[in-house]
Structure 1
Amino acid sequence: MSASPRKAVVLLSGGMDSAVVVAIAKSQGFDVHALSVRYGQRHTSELDAARNVAMALGAVEHKTVVVDLRSIGGSALTDDIDVPTDGDTGASIPVTYVPARNTIMLSIALGWAEVLGANDIFCGVNAVDYSGYPDCRPEFVEAFERLANLATKAGVEGAGLRVHAPLQFMSKADIVREGLRLGVDFGLTVSCYQADAEGRACGECDACRLRAQGFDAAGVADPTRYARAEGPGRLR
């Protein structure tokens, strides 16, 4: 009698990085329980994309949880603050940083993992090609795993909990290559901070720039749908 597949909760935003993480978890033999969070972000196109990605990559289930971070604001993604389009975030943490977002999302994933009896949580944080967010650093992931094992019944009485960040030290180009190797359809994903209702990207924000540069560096055609005809050409 074969062993049952291991369960994993995978945070899925609908962007390219989290789609690759779903594919990686699947390739490692996990039954993927995909989790998206509607936190008050500027648009819901990425959540539509998350649903499509979860279906395309064969997730066992896909759940969307609602958390109202717009009520506290403090970010260009959840407040009436313009999203920067000049490509220069400077040395400081950019205004697109959402206070405590990854902590909150991982906490929800942790709760669901306990309910499912899953010992593994996957997230798509990256410390190479990212925008300087403090909750994308390896120290954060390590600290949250310690917290998970201190603060839960599963951590104290069970087999322990592991937080996986498989993209942590990969460049965007590496992420593109890995996704293609694992059969990810990047055309289904939405990364733009201010995508329109149809999921078309602005081609100007930091997320669009990093995404386009990743495809360019990987030598792969960019499948992103842009709201403006010139698309990624203006990003370089």
Structure 2
Amino acid sequence: MTESTKKAVVLLSGGLDSATVLAMAIDQGYECHVLSFDYGQRSRTELNAARAVATALGVRDHRVIRLNLEDFGGSALTDTSIEVPEQEEEGVIPVTYVPARNTVFLSLALGLAEVLEARAIFIGVNAVDYSGYPDCRPAFIAAFEQTANLATRAGVSGQHFHIETPLMKMTKAEIIAEGMRLGLDYGLTVSCYQADDDGRACGVCDSCRLRAKGFVDAGVPDPTRYQRVTRNA
């Protein structure tokens, strides 16, 4: 490794968006240090997907950090007593929002970035095809980047951090097209809020709907493995 090597910390959930971001960071010449979180989420099989993606893309290192956000609850993703809805209500922050999740994730990524002397942190937030989460908005990212450069030794020493959000203004179809261009295998990813232990998607949650529509709009075959769901007429 040379002094000119660009380092980045990349947040990887195992889903479609974060996998695409990782592929984009690698394509931009970054040495990628990948960070995933076991935060008590309903579907932990996404962590298996994150490991598979990180291995397939040959990242420098991949760390999985255990957090206990299920101790707080407050989200259908961390509290099994709250049902995952099949259809989100427009204009309302959905029950799948995990309180302060991206703030926590970015804070830990910032700590790792400072230790590694990485100046870029990549996250797959999106303000176009997303579920209405407040911590996916450009205003939040800008505020966190400012905080990062005020609250760290590196930042106040003039070694500024940049929060990279390459998907922010892209549609799901555009994201998929970019991943395909980069040779990403979307069959490795898991986006479902309630995938089963084998990583098969439910096909009905908001995340599954957005993902499926993205493949249709992109004109790309959907490699997602779905559960067999029997419904009463």
TM-score range, shorter chain: over 0.9
Inter-partner Cα distance in structure 1 for 2:59 and 2:103: 23
Inter-partner Cα distance in structure 2 for 1:13 and 1:143: 22
TM-score, L = length of structure 1: 0.94
Give the superposition deviation at 1:229: 6.9
Gaps of 5+ in 2: none
Give the superposition deviation at 1:91: 1.8
Amino acid at match of 1:17: D
Q: Answer yes or no: is the 8 Å Cα contact 2:190–2:201 preserved in 1.
A: yes
Q: Hey, what does 1:95 align to over in structure 2?
A: 95
**RMSD between superposed Cα atoms in Å:** 1.4
Give the superposition deviation at 1:88: 3.6
Give the superposition deviation at 1:4: 3.8
Amino acid at match of 2:186: F
Q: Hey, what does 2:82 align to over in structure 1?
A: 81
Give the superposition deviation at 1:31: 0.3
State the Cα deviation string for residues 163-201 of structure 1 (Å, max 9, x = none). Answer: 000000000000000000011100000000000001000
Alignment of 1:12-27 (within 5 A): 12-27=12-27
Inter-partner Cα distance in structure 2 for 1:106 and 1:3: 25
Inter-partner Cα distance in structure 1 for 2:229 and 2:174: 27
Give the superposition deviation at 1:159: 1.6
Q: Hey, what does 1:47 align to over in structure 2?
A: 47
Moved more, 45-54 or 88-97: 88-97
Alignment of 1:140-155 (within 5 A): 140-155=140-155
TM-score, L = length of structure 2: 0.96
Alignment size in residue pairs: 229
Gaps of 5+ in 1: 231-236
Inter-partner Cα distance in structure 2 for 1:120 and 1:98: 24
Amino acid at match of 1:59: V
Amino acid at match of 2:82: I
Give the superposition deviation at 1:90: 2.7
Inter-partner Cα distance in structure 1 for 2:3 and 2:221: 40
Q: Hey, what does 2:171 align to over in structure 1?
A: 171
